Structure formats: C-alpha cells, structure tokens
Amino acid sequence: MPENHSNLQLIRGTVDVLILKALSWGPRHGYAISQWIKEVTDKALLIEEGSLYPALHRIARKGWIESRWGVSDTGRRARFYELTDVGRERLASEVKHWRLYAGQIDRVLSVASWETD
C-alpha cells in the first residue's frame, strides 16, 4: 500500500459519521460537506460524489438528516442537508464508539513485542 494519505480507504460507515460531523456545524450542501472533510483532514480523506451522495440519501432515509433546497455561495441552486435530533444522538454515539475503536487499534499498534508463556 502506498504511503500517500489521500489513498486511505474508508471503512464502511466511516463516511456516514464524517458527514454527520460536518453537519454538526450547521447546514451544508454536498460539495461543502466534502470540502470541509478534505480541509479538516489536510486532504487525507477525499469523499468522491459516488460515495457522498449515496451516503447522504442513505442517512436521510434513516432520519439522521433532512434536506431542503437553497442557494449556495456561488448563487447556484443546491440541496442543503441538516442534522435532525436523531442524527445528533447518532453522531454522539458514533463518536463514542470510534474513540473506543481507535484507542484499541492504537493499543495494538503500540505493543513492542509479543511474549508467550
């Protein structure tokens, strides 16, 4: 696997939690969501349209987000997505689980040697 961080593969479900986090700061249209994630991760995580929009539709069906039409900063018509109360609860739950998961992965990676009895 190359050491190019932009090639990181996202674990299934990761896109959902990244979208929820992006929307925790307020309503955004799809492109703004992907740009926010790109900027926050110093271009390490790039979410392409082919992953972003199916994820937005999937989490909308789950009731975690709602959408409405509006006008973007560039004056174009765009669909804006916003967290619901259920989505905020889901985000809090996902953050808790991801922190636990990341901590355990870090624990495994920190083991210096393996000793058996």
Query: Is residue 53 helix, strand or coil?
Result: helix
What residues does each domain of the chain span?
5-110
For range 77-81, the mean pLDDT: 96
Q: Does 2 have pLDDT greater than 70?
A: no
Residues 30 and 56 sit within 8 Å (Cβ to Cβ): yes
- Take residue 47 and report the two structure tokens written for it: 């979410």
pLDDT score of 113: 80
CATH placement of domain 5-110: 1.10.10.10
pLDDT digits (tens, 9 = 90+) for 13-68: 789 999 999 999 999 999 999 999 999 999 999 999 999 999 999 999 999 999 99
Task: Note the pLDDT tens digit of each residue in 89-115.
Answer: 999 999 999 999 999 999 999 988 877
Provide the residue count of the chain: 117
Q: How far apart are CA 50 and CA 78, in angstroms?
A: 17
